């Protein structure tokens, strides 16, 4: 690969705006990096799709975005897409690809009771990738997985200024707690980049004795390590693209503005 020019962007890709949690962490450590945020609203939600559908869609979209935007690095800021499509995307793009995986390792190091909850999409929690992370880092712990697709919609609704967040959070927490051993959970992995957008609501529902863990800071550190020594020069404003109608971004303009993005486009 040729040496990246200073203005070559970092591309962050998600099914919606969950990846803004990763972008916020990245801005703290690489404030000068040019960034393009890509939201596949036309494909949302990923968690209810088949593995084949997700792999083909993500690899195809990132292949086209790679050609159009010539990024120096791409980050799949989505647990579902990463656990399913990361290998295929790495075959399509000849640049570094950073994935997002459930933060089971740090959660296992934190838990005192030995019981960890994991909230994710239905597609994420059934992946062999998660099985392997559990075996490697939490073999002596109890990992209780719970599909919480309603939290994706709730996070999107919150950023779009719509109501209905509390009910989805209460349902997800109650269902996880109802599993055998759920009353002993003291650490919860937020295995979807959308879920930290609901951190305040989830913390209130779980109570003060439960730590919430996500991978955004670790992903940002990985991007820093892979771009070490490279120059950054933002010659144009950062922008966001959507595969859906432009109003899918306009409804979330305040959240995008908070991470330095005001230019909104359709891909």
Answer for the pair 171, 200: CB distance below 8 angstroms, yes or no: no
* CA–CA separation, 104 and 91 (whole Å): 26
* CA–CA separation, 228 and 181 (whole Å): 44
Give percent of the chain with pLDDT exceeding 70. Answer: 99
pLDDT at 20: 96
pLDDT at 1: 39
Of the candidates 8, 78, 185, 188, the residue annotated as catalytic is: 78
pLDDT digits (tens, 9 = 90+) for 236-248: 999 999 999 999 9
pLDDT digits (tens, 9 = 90+) for 75-95: 999 999 999 999 999 999 999
pTM (2 decimals)? Answer: 0.93
Helices 20-29, 216-226: inter-axial angle, 10-degree rounding: 50
Which domains does the chain carry? Answer: 10-100+217-266 (3.40.50.1860), 104-214 (3.40.50.1860)
Told to judge if 78 belongs to the known catalytic residues of this protein, a careful annotator would answer: yes
Measured between alpha carbons, how far is residue 214 from residues 15, 79, 85 in Å? 17, 11, 20
Of the candidates 192, 211, 213, 261, the residue annotated as catalytic is: 192
pLDDT at 212: 98
């Amino acid at each position: 690969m040729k040496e990246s020019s200073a203005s070559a962007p970092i591309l962050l890709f998600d099914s919606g705006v969950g990846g803004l949690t990763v972008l916020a962490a990245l801005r703290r450590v690489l404030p000068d990096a040019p960034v393009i945020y890509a939201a596949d609203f036309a494909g949302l939600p990923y968690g209810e799709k088949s593995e084949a559908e997700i792999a083909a869609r993500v690899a195809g979209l990132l292949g086209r975005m790679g050609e159009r935007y010539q990024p120096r690095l791409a980050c799949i800021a989505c647990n579902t897409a990463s656990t399913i499509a990361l290998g295929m995307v790495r075959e399509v793009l000849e640049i570094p690809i950073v994935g997002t995986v459930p933060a089971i390792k740090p959660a296992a190091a934190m838990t005192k009771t030995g019981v960890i909850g994991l909230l994710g999409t239905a597609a994420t929690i059934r992946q062999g990738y998660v099985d392997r992370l559990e075996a490697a880092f939490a073999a002596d712990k109890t990992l209780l997985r719970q599909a919480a697709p309603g939290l994706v919609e709730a996070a999107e609704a919150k950023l779009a200024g719509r109501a209905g967040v509390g009910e989805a959070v209460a349902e997800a927490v109650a269902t996880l707690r109802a599993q055998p051993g759920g009353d002993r959970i003291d650490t919860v992995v937020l295995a979807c980049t959308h879920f930290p957008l609901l951190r305040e609501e989830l913390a209130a529902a779980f109570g003060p004795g439960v730590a919430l863990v996500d991978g955004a800071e670790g992903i940002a550190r990985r991007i820093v390590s892979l771009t070490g020594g490279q120059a950054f020069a933002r010659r144009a404003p950062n922008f966001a693209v959507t595969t859906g109608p432009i109003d899918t971004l306009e409804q979330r303009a305040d959240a995008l503005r908070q991470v330095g993005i005001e230019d909104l486009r359709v891909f």
